[in-house]
């Protein structure tokens, strides 16, 4: 079992660490530690009254360490990505103790393990570390042997570098941890317990009649999560996919619901389109200039400039005249991106760079689109009939995804139109 933090704890840890690193007073540390104590100890006495003392000591140890670290950060007035990573693992450190105690209370032997001990070896990219392939063997040798007589409860969200420095795997990273561990022990299935019934056809806040998808493929889920759908950590499918392990998404608060099953082969559905997602805070950048026609290396210069500035490009489209390249980035990176590109204008590689913040990217996802003729026609006709103007189109080469850009205000409308067009609120079609 891999556990994440209790709701909101990771956010609180980030907030306090940031605050005390540049505040004159350390006065907020004590009340914060006390609030964590009350919260976790009260759950402990509920789920494992007979282990409240033994396991309570472990909680106190964690709180004492956290207290020391927060005070150190305050005294130094310095919060590095490395120390922040260490601090934000405390939600998982505390919660894993509770879950392990609950097992023991029910007569099931259980131990607590941190993600590093369990064998998750990562890159040193603090805040967004990635598991290295060596993790696999390490997990097999460290976790597998324990399974015969105990349930290891492993702290999610964290791993460590080869030097033993604690890293975190990005927000919602416990899903990713679970997938890495599941792949490492060659599990039959990986179950992600969350707080919704499963992966949905669209965001229910935008589409009230959005429906839980019964079965979906690895590729479709990857496209969905890379495209902003908060279904699970975007990297959590890859380890499962490599070993062909079924992933199930289930609701902790509604366990009898079948949830969503994620498998290799997509289940054929006559509707072709399976899910819709959109990201509203994006900016559209258009780079044009006749200088670009037929000239090799312009695209390279553009993308290197953006990569050097650490701008993540979400979508790309190039007109066949080559006089024009459009791309989509996160709105918060717009200033950095236009600065980086202005250099190319100075160098005469491109004539003009323009941008538009009033943009929102919509992704239409479905493995069936690959072979179906006329999908693009149907999508854009429906949007046109609904009065939505499309500013840019891009089709992923995986053909599992067609995405396009519309004005921000048109995003929800576009999703609504396509959800109706493909009758996604109806049950799975055979």
Chain residues binding Mg ion by CB under 5 A are 4, 172
The smaller minimum CB distance to ligand ASP, of residues 82 and 171, is found at 171
The smaller minimum CB distance to ligand ASP, of residues 83 and 201, is found at 83
Q: How far is the CB of 35 from ligand ASP (least distance, A)?
A: 17
Cβ neighbors of 99 (< 8 A, separation 6 or more) are 1, 3, 110, 153
The smaller minimum CB distance to Mg ion, of residues 4 and 202, is found at 4
Q: How far is the CB of 58 from Mg ion (least distance, A)?
A: 22
CA angle, residues 294, 297, 301, in degrees to nearest 5: 130
Alpha carbon separation from 355 to 198, 314, 325, 332, 360 (Å, rounded): 37, 15, 12, 13, 13
Q: How far is the CB of 170 from ligand ASP (least distance, A)?
A: 8
Task: State the Cα–Cα distance between residues 295 and 87, nearest whole angstrom.
Answer: 50
229: nearest Cα among 361, 413, 87: 361
Task: State the Cα–Cα distance between residues 204 and 211, nearest whole angstrom.
Answer: 8
The smaller minimum CB distance to Mg ion, of residues 6 and 144, is found at 6
Which of 274-293 are b and which e, b meaning 16 or more Cβ less than 10 Å from the residue's Cβ?
bbbbbbeebbbbbbbbebbe
Cβ neighbors of 249 (< 8 A, separation 6 or more) are 191, 192, 194, 198, 199, 231, 232, 259, 260, 262
Partner whose footprint covers residue 157, from Mg ion, ligand ASP, none (CB < 5 to 8 Å by kind):
ligand ASP
Q: How far is the CB of 91 from ligand ASP (least distance, A)?
A: 5
Size of the chain in residues: 430
Q: How far is the CB of 167 from ligand ASP (least distance, A)?
A: 13
Q: How far is the CB of 386 from ligand ASP (least distance, A)?
A: 36
The smaller minimum CB distance to ligand ASP, of residues 175 and 266, is found at 175
The smaller minimum CB distance to ligand ASP, of residues 156 and 368, is found at 156
The smaller minimum CB distance to ligand ASP, of residues 178 and 185, is found at 178
The smaller minimum CB distance to ligand ASP, of residues 179 and 340, is found at 179
The smaller minimum CB distance to ligand ASP, of residues 93 and 419, is found at 93
Query: H or E segment at 32?
Result: helix 29-47
Partner whose footprint covers residue 161, from ligand ASP, Mg ion, none (CB < 5 to 8 Å by kind):
none
| Residue 320 CA from chain centroid, whole number | 34
Q: How far is the CB of 199 from ligand ASP (least distance, A)?
A: 16
In the structure encoding, which two tokens stand for residue 264, read together?
A: 């290799």
Partner whose footprint covers residue 156, from ligand ASP, Mg ion, none (CB < 5 to 8 Å by kind):
ligand ASP
Phi, psi of 248 (to 5 degrees): -115, 140
Partner whose footprint covers residue 228, from Mg ion, ligand ASP, none (CB < 5 to 8 Å by kind):
none
The smaller minimum CB distance to ligand ASP, of residues 171 and 267, is found at 171
Quick check: 101 and 55 in contact, CB under 8 A?
Answer: yes
Q: How far is the CB of 4 from Mg ion (least distance, A)?
A: 5
260: nearest Cα among 200, 319, 310, 311: 200
Q: How far is the CB of 356 from ligand ASP (least distance, A)?
A: 32
Task: State the Cα–Cα distance between residues 262 and 329, nearest whole angstrom.
Answer: 29
Alpha carbon separation from 122 to 13, 158, 341 (Å, rounded): 22, 9, 33
Q: In what order do the strands lie in the sheet with 110-113?
A: 2-3, 151-155, 110-113
List interacting residues with ligand ASP (CB under 6 A). 4-5, 10, 91, 156-157, 171-175
Quick check: 267 and 259 in contact, CB under 8 A?
Answer: no
Q: How far is the CB of 128 from Mg ion (least distance, A)?
A: 15
Q: 3-state class of 349 per DSSP? A: coil
């Amino acid at each position: 079992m891999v556990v994440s933090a209790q709701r909101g704890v990771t956010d609180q840890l980030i907030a306090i660490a940031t605050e005390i690193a540049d505040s004159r007073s350390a006065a907020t540390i004590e009340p914060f530690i006390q609030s964590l104590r009350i919260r976790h100890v009260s759950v402990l006495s509920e789920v494992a009254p007979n282990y409240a003392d033994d396991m309570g000591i472990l909680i106190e140890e964690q709180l004492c360490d956290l207290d020391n670290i927060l005070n150190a950060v305050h005294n130094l007035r310095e919060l590095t990505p490395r120390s922040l990573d260490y601090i934000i693992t405390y939600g998982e450190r505390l919660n894993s103790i509770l879950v392990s105690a609950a097992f023991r209370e029910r007569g099931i032997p259980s131990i607590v393990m941190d993600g590093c001990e369990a064998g998750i070896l990562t890159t040193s990219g603090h805040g967004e570390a990635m598991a290295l392939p060596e993790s696999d063997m390490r997990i097999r040798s460290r976790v597998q042997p324990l399974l015969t007589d105990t349930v290891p409860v492993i702290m999610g969200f964290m791993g460590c570098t080869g030097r033993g420095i604690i890293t975190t795997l990005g927000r919602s990273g416990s899903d990713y941890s679970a997938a890495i561990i599941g792949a490492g022990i060659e599990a039959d299935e990986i179950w992600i317990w969350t707080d919704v019934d499963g992966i949905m056809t669209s965001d229910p806040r935008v589409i009230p009649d959005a429906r839980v998808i019964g079965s979906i493929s690895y590729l479709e889920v990857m496209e969905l999560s890379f495209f902003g759908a908060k279904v699970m950590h975007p990297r959590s499918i890859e380890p499962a996919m490599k070993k062909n392990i079924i992933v199930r998404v289930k609701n902790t608060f509604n366990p009898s619901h079948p949830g969503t099953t994620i498998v290799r082969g997509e289940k054929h559905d006559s509707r072709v389109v399976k899910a819709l997602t959109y990201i509203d805070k994006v900016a559209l950048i258009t780079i044009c200039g006749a200088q670009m026609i037929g000239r090799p290396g312009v695209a390279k210069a553009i993308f290197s400039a953006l990569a050097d500035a650490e701008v993540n490009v979400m979508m790309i489209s190039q007109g066949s005249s080559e006089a024009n390249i459009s791309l989509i980035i996160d709105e918060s990176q717009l200033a950095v991106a236009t600065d980086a590109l202005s250099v190319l204008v100075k160098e005469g590689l491109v004539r003009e760079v323009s941008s538009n913040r009033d943009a929102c990217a919509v992704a239409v996802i479905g493995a069936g689109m690959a072979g179906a003729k006329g999908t693009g026609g149907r999508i854009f006709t429906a949007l046109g009939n609904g009065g939505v103007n499309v500013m840019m189109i891009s089709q992923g080469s995986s053909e599992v995804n067609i995405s396009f850009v519309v004005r921000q205000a048109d995003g929800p409308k576009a999703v609504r139109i396509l959800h109706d067009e493909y009758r996604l609120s109806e049950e799975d079609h055979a």
